[in-house]
Amino acid sequence: MTNKVTLTQFIIEQQREFPGTSGSFTALLNDIATACKKISHYVNRGELIGVLGSAESENVQGEVQKKLDIITNDIMVSALNWTGRLAGMASEEIDEMIKIPGHYPKGKYLVAFDPLDGSSNIDVNLAVGTIFSILRSREGIDADLQDFLRKGEEQVCAGFVLYGPSTMMVLTTGHGVNAFTLDQDIGEFILTHRDMRIPEETAEFAINMTNQRFWEPPVQRYIAECLQGTEGPLGKNYNMRWIASLVAEVYRILTRGGIFMYPLDCRNPEKPAKLRLMYEANPMAFIIEQAGGVCTTGRERILDIKPTDIHQRVPLILGSKHEVERIVRYHQEN
């Protein structure tokens, strides 16, 4: 118990392998961790402090906001805008990029975040989380929109914090995936899962079946084969999961394998995809690939997509290598 490795210690030890690095990145991750500890407190307290329910407003996506959507966004912005480590921010809840106030110094990083992923679950006490992505920027000057519109493969760090029975941070800096559990007694994230790897095979899928009639043929084919079980071409029985919380779905895949799909559909021609590239797909793709999985739209690798807008949406299929590659093959055949 005396040899616990904290998040700060872990990041510092990783940085020592790269001479010339400064402490700015470690400090930024500590800032994010501090914000997420505060969010964890609000999520855990819930109705006791009156933070559940609708805020009776909509975000830039046209989605009804929960009170905690607004509270968690404010927590993230307030924790990061004054530190001197960022040149700009972008939030799923805010239409435009977030500029650093003029009286604060500008740093060399950018952060894009979804402050409360899965917020539709909050009122029924299911898992929610925070997702973040870090990019390098031009140090000492204000970032502009083009600084954010870069391929996901340029991320220097991606992570998410899961607020469940325990609060956990899953993190990659491009050298594998590690998970840290918040020790409430000492207020520190402690390394508990080192070098997480996704099994290449799976017998578990997660998808919203109510949208089945709107899917493209390759996804229809794959799900139909899963449902045929041992009598079908895949030769095994599958279990279906659906939590409607990306952080919870990805954590399950990291720990026991599986596949998650929010594919392209034809419900609304103006919004053929659901999830946001910069705040959800890119950081999760970085994590999934670092853990040995695959992340795609069905047609192209997520991390190869050049964004055209900070709120761009994309189809998302991720998880165990062989299963995702099967769906990619079905798209190619189609």
For residue range 180-227, list pLDDT tens digits in order. 999 999 999 999 999 999 999 999 999 999 999 999 999 999 999 999
- Please give, one letter per residue, the 3-state secondary structure of 203-266: CEEECCHHHHHHECHHHHHHHHHHHCHHHCCCCCCCEEECCCCHHHHHHHHHHHCCEEEECCEC
Query: Annotated binding residue at 119?
Result: yes
Query: Annotated binding residue at 81?
Result: no
Query: Annotated binding residue at 280?
Result: yes
For residue range 97-139, list pLDDT tens digits in order. 999 999 999 999 999 999 999 888 888 888 999 999 999 998 8
> How far lies 320's CA from each of 96, 200, 253, 263, 317, in Å?
35, 5, 8, 16, 10
Q: Which CATH architecture has domain 7-193?
A: 2-Layer Sandwich (3.30)
Query: Annotated binding residue at 151?
Result: no
Q: Where are the domains of the chain?
A: 7-193, 204-333
Query: Annotated binding residue at 92?
Result: yes
Query: Annotated binding residue at 114?
Result: yes
Q: So what's the pLDDT on residue 313?
A: 96
Query: Annotated binding residue at 118?
Result: yes
For residue range 154-189, list pLDDT tens digits in order. 999 999 999 999 999 999 999 999 999 999 999 999
For residue range 39-54, list pLDDT tens digits in order. 999 998 877 767 777 7
Q: Which CATH architecture has domain 204-333?
A: 3-Layer(aba) Sandwich (3.40)
For residue range 15-37, list pLDDT tens digits in order. 887 665 678 999 999 999 999 99
Query: Annotated binding residue at 271?
Result: no
Q: So what's the pLDDT on residue 59?
A: 63
Quick check: 196 and 177 in contact, CB under 8 A? Answer: yes
